């Protein structure tokens, strides 16, 4: 199925921030805001601030992205597109989780999904809710750690090739497989946009109590790979036959030659496609493996020149044939093929020996047999497992001869840790901006000074938290301590929490701003809380101080605790509890939350 965001329910009518936010909201559904967010932000984007928030009824913790309307002038369509894509992806994830069998007819996707160690759809940021307030468009998403992949790489200088670079790359490839299969291209894959799933510390502790720590210490790869989440779908879009992609968007260090050629070229350049994500994945893997960037030069112009010609930096050292290093270089070479038609697709790249053991072979085992593709199939994405094709494969991968090192140009390379990068938001074609905008096609690349300033601030923050950061073990879905060769391993987490739509605001208008409060709740995103459900038909819920939810409408005096079990209604809602009944049909009876300002939507 390929995504078409227009087929999703329309976005609610937006008020006009230029009328002091007093746009006509009479015809909008309004409701009491169900969320309270913390004062401190988790991160800032160009148009937004992200904060941790709590759903007052379920006590589930989320991330709340507050996109400022005043900065979005003429770019409302961008955020609508982002929400549309995230909503569609969320639907798809739910469908895949609920109906694993139904995909059997889908061939290739199913093949990877059912047998690969990583399941791509579990590595895409999940949108749970969205709504609008006077000043903001608000997205409520899965909560991730404040520390992103960029921080992790910078802190360690570079990542361990075998334990981290490989599985991280495989996981991201698997996530890209899912996206591309849905007809979506991300266009801003970079370390800053790769987050780590927030774990329930209590559950990790419980898990680690019960297993032999020796197994975890000896696990062959960093289990944090299962926590990677691709975030920031602000530049993501769909590939369709109707609109060609020619926008000059992305992040300079990560953009592919196709996008570079679109700079200022208008309609005259060749449209690009999914392969721009493959290139960016190569840049990211390179950054993980070396700690610096492949194409970065002293000036942006030089960087763009190097990208356009595929001139990446490699030290002139010998890589003994057959080593992991050589496989890594070979993998990178595939991602840095300038001609995008020759650059492998996500499915082809998954067969590369650098990552193939994380994907399945045709016969479903995780040994070193490589599902082969021959030269003919490289452009079609067809996979051929005939062993006669070994030499074709090796030729394709450049493994028959010693990997040829690309000679660096005369450009001065920046080989230190890169600064946090800024995305290029817009240039070229204007197919998704308001036609009334005169400025819509002008380039708005954040300047390097801003970027450096952010970098310095980030580094200061990182050094502050470095000492206090506890390295938490990844929760597992891998069988304890079992080797990768076990074909039954499925270690990717399912997403959570899985709230039913009835809890959500889904597009309503909030007539009061979202509140900020330093709520004091343990920072966890409970996976079991995803079991929390409303009995079908329910329209009123009561949350109690222990986080349970009472069905008040269909009533049946049933309570569900946060583990989804129906419990006897020995708990009663405290009479002192403040009740705020709205058309959202919710009564908040959690005393902890009463002190916060009233939320109306």
Cβ proximity of 182 and 2 under 8 Å:
yes
Taking CB positions, which residue lies at the least distance from ligand ATP?
45
Smallest distance, ligand ATP to C-beta of residue 217, A: 28
User: Is 206 annotated as a binding-site member?
Assistant: no
Site for ligand ATP in 221-240 (CB under 6 A): 231-232, 234
Q: Which of 92, 129, 132, 192 binds ligand ATP (CB under 6 A)?
A: 192
Cβ proximity of 205 and 531 under 8 Å:
no
Smallest distance, ligand ATP to C-beta of residue 188, A: 7
User: Is 192 annotated as a binding-site member?
Assistant: yes
| DSSP letter for each residue of 279-314 | HHHHHHHHHHHHSS-SS-BSSHHHHHHHHHHT----
Asked if 47 interacts with ligand ATP (CB under 6 A), we say yes
Site for ligand ATP in 127-156 (CB under 6 A): 141-144, 148
Cβ proximity of 135 and 68 under 8 Å:
yes
Q: According to the 3-state scheme, what is the secondary structure of 492-513?
A: CCCCCCCCCHHHCCCCCECCCC
Cβ proximity of 231 and 186 under 8 Å:
no
Structure token digits, residue 486: 């076990």
Q: With respect to ligand ATP, which residue has the nearer C-beta, 144 or 504? A: 144
Q: Which of 423, 510, 526, 543 binds ligand ATP (CB under 6 A)?
A: 423
Given 129, 181, 188, 200, the catalytic residue: 188
Smallest distance, ligand ATP to C-beta of residue 435, A: 24
Q: How many helices (H) and strands (E) does the chain have?
A: 13, 17
Residue 247: name the closest of 6, 83, 81, 370 by CA: 81
Asked if 176 interacts with ligand ATP (CB under 6 A), we say no
Q: Measured between alpha carbons, how far is 66 from 61 in angstroms, rounded to an integer? A: 16
Cβ proximity of 396 and 363 under 8 Å:
no
- The site for ligand ATP, by CB under 6 A, has a size of 22
Q: With respect to ligand ATP, which residue has the nearer C-beta, 147 or 405? A: 147
Q: Which of 37, 50, 276, 601 binds ligand ATP (CB under 6 A)?
A: 50
- Phi/psi of residue 2, nearest 5 degrees: -110, 140
Q: With respect to ligand ATP, which residue has the nearer C-beta, 43 or 371? A: 43
User: Is 368 annotated as a binding-site member?
Assistant: no
**3-class secondary-structure state, position 596:** coil
Q: With respect to ligand ATP, which residue has the nearer C-beta, 458 or 551? A: 458
User: Is 232 annotated as a binding-site member?
Assistant: yes
Q: Measured between alpha carbons, how far is 55 from 364 in angstroms, rounded to an integer? A: 41
**3-class secondary-structure state, position 96:** helix
Q: With respect to ligand ATP, which residue has the nearer C-beta, 111 or 493? A: 493
Cβ proximity of 221 and 166 under 8 Å:
yes
Smallest distance, ligand ATP to C-beta of residue 565, A: 28
**Would you call 188 a catalytic residue per the annotation?**
yes
Smallest distance, ligand ATP to C-beta of residue 254, A: 12
Return the active site residues: 188
Catalog residues that contact ligand ATP under the rule CB under 6 A: 42-48, 50, 63, 65, 125, 141-144, 148, 192, 195, 231-232, 234, 423
Question: Annotated binding residues, as ranges?
Answer: 69, 192-193, 232
């Amino acid at each position: 199925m390929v995504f078409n965001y227009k087929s999703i329910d329309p976005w609610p009518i937006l008020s006009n921030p230029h009328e002091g936010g007093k746009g006509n909201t009479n015809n909008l559904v309004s409701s009491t805001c169900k969320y309270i967010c913390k004062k401190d932000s988790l991160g800032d984007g160009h148009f937004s601030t992200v904060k941790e928030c709590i759903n007052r009824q379920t006590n589930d913790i989320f991330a709340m992205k507050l996109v400022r309307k005043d900065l979005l002038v003429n770019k409302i369509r961008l955020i609508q597109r982002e929400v549309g894509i995230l909503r569609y992806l969320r639907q798809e994830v739910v469908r895949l989780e609920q109906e694993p069998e139904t995909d059997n007819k889908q061939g290739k996707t199913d093949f990877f999904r059912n047998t690969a160690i990583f399941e791509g759809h579990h590595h895409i940021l999940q949108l749970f809710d969205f709504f609008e307030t006077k000043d903001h468009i608000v997205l409520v998403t899965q909560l991730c750690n404040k520390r992103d992949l960029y921080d992790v790489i910078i802190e360690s200088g570079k990542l361990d090739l075998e334990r981290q670079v490989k599985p991280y790359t495989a996981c991201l490839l698997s996530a890209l497989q899912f996206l591309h299969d849905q007809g979506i291209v991300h266009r801003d894959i970079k370390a800053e946009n790769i987050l780590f799933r927030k774990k329930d510390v209590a559950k990790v502790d419980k898990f680690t109590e019960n297993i032999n720590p020796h197994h975890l210490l000896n696990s062959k790869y960093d289990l944090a790979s299962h926590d990677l989440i691709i975030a920031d779908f602000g530049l993501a879009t769909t590939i369709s036959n109707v609109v060609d992609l020619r926008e000059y968007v992305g992040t300079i260090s990560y953009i592919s030659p196709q996008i570079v050629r679109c700079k200022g070229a208008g309609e005259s350049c060749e449209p690009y496609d999914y392969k721009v994500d493959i290139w960016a994945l190569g840049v990211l893997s390179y950054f993980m493996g070396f700690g610096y960037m492949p194409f970065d030069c002293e000036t942006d112009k030089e960087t763009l020149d190097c990208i356009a010609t595929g001139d990446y930096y490699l030290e002139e050292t010998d890589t003994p044939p057959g080593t992991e290093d050589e496989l890594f270089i070979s993998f990178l070479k595939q991602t840095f093929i300038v001609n995008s038609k020759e650059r492998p697709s996500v499915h082809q790249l998954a067969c590369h020996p650098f990552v193939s053991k994380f994907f399945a072979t045709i016969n479903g085992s995780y040994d070193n047999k490589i599902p082969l593709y021959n030269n003919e199939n490289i452009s079609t994405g067809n996979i051929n497992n005939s062993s006669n094709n070994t030499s074709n494969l090796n030729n394709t991968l450049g493994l028959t001869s010693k990997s040829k090192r690309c000679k660096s140009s005369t450009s001065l390379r920046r080989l230190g840790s890169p600064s946090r990068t800024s995305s290029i938001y817009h240039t070229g074609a204007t197919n998704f901006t308001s036609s009334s905008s005169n400025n819509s096609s002008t380039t708005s690349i954040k300047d390097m000074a801003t970027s450096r300033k952010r970098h310095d601030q980030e580094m200061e923050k990182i050094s502050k938290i470095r000492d206090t950061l506890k390295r938490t073990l990844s929760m597992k879905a891998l069988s304890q301590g079992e080797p990768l060769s076990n074909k039954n391993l499925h270690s990717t987490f399912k997403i959570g929490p899985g709230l039913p739509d009835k809890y959500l605001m889904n597009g309503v208008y909030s007539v009061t701003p979202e509140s900020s409060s330093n709520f004091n709740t343990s920072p966890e995103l409970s996976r079991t809380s995803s079991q929390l459900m409303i009995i079908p038909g329910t329209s009123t819920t009561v949350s109690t101080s222990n986080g349970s939810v009472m069905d008040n409408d269909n009533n049946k005096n049933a309570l569900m605790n946060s583990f989804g079990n129906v419990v006897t209604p020995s708990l009663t809602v405290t009479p002192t509890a403040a009740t705020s009944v709205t058309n959202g049909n919710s009564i908040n009876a959690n005393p902890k939350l009463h002190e916060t300002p009233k939320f109306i939507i």
